[in-house]
Chain A
Amino acid sequence: MLSKITVSPAPHISEDHSTRSVMLDVIIGLAPPILAAFYYFRFYALILIITCVLAAVVTEYLCNLIRRTQNPLESIGDLSAVVTGIILALSLPPRLPPWAAVIGSAFAIAIAKMVFGGLGSNIFNPAMAGRTFLTVCFGILMTTWTVPATIDTKMPIISAESKIDARTQATPLAWSKQAIKKQSPASIANEQLKVAFTGNTGGCLGETSAVALIIGGIYLLLRRTITIHIPAAVLLSAFILAAIAYLINPSAYISPVTHLTTGGMLLCAFFIATDPVTAPLSTKGMWIFGIGIGSLIMLIRIVGEYPEGVMYAVLLMNAVTALIDRLCRLTPAGGKPNV
């Protein structure tokens, strides 16, 4: 006979998902770019990813202690801090000293996430906030691009000094900026299309290999962890703007395909802009949000002073997410009630 009857509101069954499994899916989706980073940047990639993840998790734990959370370890289990750490690491230059990575990671979790109330309450993408903080504080470190370990030394090199233990190199987007300023032809950047596709070029840890990012993105789409709307909106709007610039002056502006495969564009489209917490809820809102990010990236890249604009574009659109949500209020299937 029954001795204990459980009572709760319907429904009494639920899908096998949890926040943890969603985050785990993102981590699996991030595996191809992580592997590509290991391949191209070897030891640096390993150090950077481990430092960022550890710093993120420890910071979250400390914040939970300060907030007197009942079980300070519980929120670590949802893996969201791990995802933030990985994404931050993948968007950092490979040779960034670990202490700087720790500062960025701690800022991302403590200030951009926990201060707002933890998971689900943050307005800005923590990883992008952390990266912005690092760019503001350590501008030079954040724009020093190491040559991948696999690279051939004949590639154009900007500041190679024989006594330094690492060679650095301009990223395809830096070449693109040079072209816009009429200091070099756009063709140099366009020539990098092939290497940008596999990832054999300078750049942030996880953004150099387009193919790895696309594989990871497709995994997330297939697992339905993300929907197609934001990636499609980001990439399409960026492509259209880049194509317009390219058609106007192909010698000053690099081709739209190069734009899409270089810099943080794909990482942003599949992994950063799709962060559900900081993106709008409705499909229509997602399109507006994605188009905003794609357009801002291209505006910064083409018109602005920086060669790359992913993090600013994401943060700017994060700031208006609540407004987009309000703008795109859903109408019930049966129309608005006549009250």
Chain B
Amino acid sequence: MSRVEDIDQEVLEFAKIVGKSGPVTVVGGRTQWAVGGPPEPGTREVRAPAGIWSHEPEEMTVRCGGGTTLGELSEQLAHHGQMVPFDMPAEATVGGVLAVGHSGLRRLRYGDIRDFVLQIRHVDHTGQIVSSGGPTVKNVSGYDLCRLMVGSLGKFGCIAEVTLRCLPIPAITRWFTGILDPFEVHNQLYRPSSILWDGNRVWVCIEGVLSDVAAQAAIFDFEEVAGPPSLPAGGRLAIEPKGLRTHKQESDQSWIAEVGVGLIHTDLPAAQRHINDVNVSLMEELEERLNPNNRLNPGRQVLI
């Protein structure tokens, strides 16, 4: 509940820090700081509260400050055999990862990070706290502002507190590699966690109990490896998953693609994608209402 008596002191204090006026931006671990461009010079930097405020293993939910690092979160959850499969650097913050909205390498199996968000409390442009979603694993009470906050680059509010759904850590996680047809791998394996492809070599993450992982891996001529290859960090290009079939011929720079997802990690920044006029107008209507004076992350742009 969002009544004043139910909100943690740290969140109340963060609301005061964000305040009611002047340009402001929330700094996380700066692991994806360049996304959307830097905030305008002179923008006041603030940090969201950090700390795990409640973790109920039998509920498989965790509530923490937006400034909590993924490292701290993972450590706490791992004590109970649980995880949140964001697969981002340990120094990244929960609030930061959600504000950027990029999902990690195992999205093929676990889905988008936005679908792990149950509740968000943010501080809006007027310095007031807004709660959306709810603390339970299932909830359709009211408009889904949590989805809107994910990927909004902090333009709609400063994420103060987040409640996430957790998953059990699989018994076994193994990476395999081989020179194979990635689409055939995608068709043959049952819900692999990740399939990466550089146009030549395939890397696959298979998780589950040992016998299943072994049986799945035996379908192809795989060799076990310690983990995924390092990804080009210059840019991300999202295309329709089946578009990867023809991407190989088109591209001359080095890249690694997430097969089945359609995300291509590239050396060079990816071209900006066009948003059609109708969607731009809807998005601008939202910005006008939720960030009317553009005091939240001025300069940083979701709409280009």
Q: Do A and B share a complex?
A: no
**Chain A interfacial positions (CB closer than 8 Å to B):** none
